[in-house]
Amino acid sequence: MAAKGGSLSRAAPPGRRTLGSLIGENPRVLKVLDRYGIVFCPGCYLTLFSTPAKAAAYHAVEDKKAFLEDLDHLLSRHGPPRRAKRRSRSGGGR
């Protein structure tokens, strides 16, 4: 993890982002969550609206520091995924 408390994203302070927002920013976050046993069912909003540290505590992640470092590394390395440009459906120019 970068500095004390980590970075997890440049968009907000480390402890203020929820897993739901991190997943929305970068779906690869799901692989890190799965690796550490952090899962959620469609009816479980507690995990999605938790910070990574709280989710790790709820799911009894044994190595919370490693989990947060892996998550931080993924987000700093990949950042938001690129989005394909949408084609116009107007059919203009054909």
Q: Determine which of 9-13, 42-46, 51-55, 89-93 has the lowest per-residue pLDDT on average.
A: 89-93
Top CATH class of 14-78 equals mainly alpha
Nearest one of 37, 38, 4, 27 to 74, comparing CA atoms = 27
The gap between the terminal CA atoms of the chain, to the nearest Å, is 52
Residue 35: band (very low, low, confident or very high) from pLDDT cuts 50, 70, 90: very high
The 10s digit of each residue's pLDDT in 45-58 is 788 888 999 989 98
Hey, where are the domains in the chain? 14-78
Q: What are the residue ranges of helices labelled H in 1-63?
A: 19-25, 29-35, 45-48, 52-58
How far apart, in whole angstroms, are the C-alpha atoms of residue 85 and residue 54? 36
